[in-house]
Amino acid sequence: MAKSAIELEVDSESTILQFIERNNVASVECLCHEGVCGTCETMILKGNTLMQ
């Protein structure tokens, strides 16, 4: 989305993938929604991450 100049602020209750799909921001290849296979891996260019 950086190439399209789209910036997102994802709420803490959602994953990046969930936010993109729910808001129809982009088409993302995802086979499992479990975060295991890696097809939906996304590089974060900047921002904050919270680890729990």
Please name the amino acid found at residue 37.
Answer: C
pTM: 0.53
What pLDDT score does 51 carry? 45
Nearest partner of 1 among 31, 44, 37, 50, judged by Cα = 44
Contact 26, 19 (CB under 8 A): no
User: How distant, in Å, are the alpha carbons of 1, 16, 25, 52 from that of 20?
Assistant: 10, 6, 5, 22
What pLDDT score does 19 carry? 84
pLDDT tens-place string over residues 5-50: 878 888 888 888 888 888 888 887 777 666 677 766 767 777 765 5
What pLDDT score does 18 carry? 85
